[in-house]
Amino acid sequence: MIPIILASTSRYRAELLARLGLAFETMAPGVDETGYQACSARELAGLLAQAKAQAVAGSRPGRIVIGSDQVAVCEERFLGKPGSIEAAIKQLQFQRGKTTLFETAVCLVDASGSSSLSCVTTRVRWLDSSQVSDSLISNYVHKELPLDCAGAAKSEGLGVALIAQMQSEDPTALIGLPLIALTDLLRKAGIEPLAKP
């Protein structure tokens, strides 16, 4: 089987990819995410996922490389990884009672160098201030430390207690790697996760 590389140092993405039972290695893509401009969160997520996959594919030809990125936007404000407790609390206070769109893109570069891209939208409606106080948000952030998550909440953990509703065609997209979309891209590249090794 063609070797697979996940162009990411994210433990969340590695844990998700491991669910497919495929052997893979991880490699930091070394992409500066700050230099990209886009009209929409969806476009930016796609550009970054593609840049990550192509950066690694350029240095490791003949392999299948998977890149992914997620961009969150709420009321036209892009929300990156908060990086600090204070920033995480502010992000969650801002989103409270609103809807955030999480655009999660995955790009696959096959062994010949051709790339395919897919993007999944997840809509998250947050509980409002009558249900989630500032002190509860602070408690959450201090307990779970979601400092490396766009939007500052881990839906796969305690962050789900801040959410009123989630809508997505792929339940893994919000965690960071849309496995349904990725499985489709892998099959098109000749890799069937359900096949015996």
Indicate the domain borders of the chain: 4-188
E strand or H helix at 124: strand 115-126
Q: Which CATH class is domain 4-188?
A: alpha beta
CA–CA dist 15, 13 (Å, integer): 5
Average pLDDT on 162-188 reads 96
Beta-bridge partner residues of 165: 125
Q: Are 92 and 137 in contact (CB under 8 A)?
A: yes
Give tens-digit pLDDT for 21-44: 999 999 999 887 776 676 789 999
Q: How many CB atoms lie within 10 A of CB 10?
A: 19
User: Is there a catalytic annotation at residue 69?
Assistant: yes
Average pLDDT on 61-81 reads 94
The residue with tokens 């590695």 is 14
Average pLDDT on 5-12 reads 93
% of the chain exceeding 70 in pLDDT = 96
Q: What is the dihedral of CA 158, 162, 165, 170, to 10 degrees?
A: -40
pTM for the complete prediction? 0.91
Report the pLDDT value the prediction gives residue 30, as an integer from 0 to 100. Answer: 86
Q: Are 46 and 55 in contact (CB under 8 A)?
A: no
CA–CA dist 85, 144 (Å, integer): 10
Catalytic residue among 69, 128, 134, 148: 69
Give tens-digit pLDDT for 104-141: 999 999 999 999 999 999 999 999 999 999 999 999 99
Give tens-digit pLDDT for 152-168: 988 889 999 999 999 99
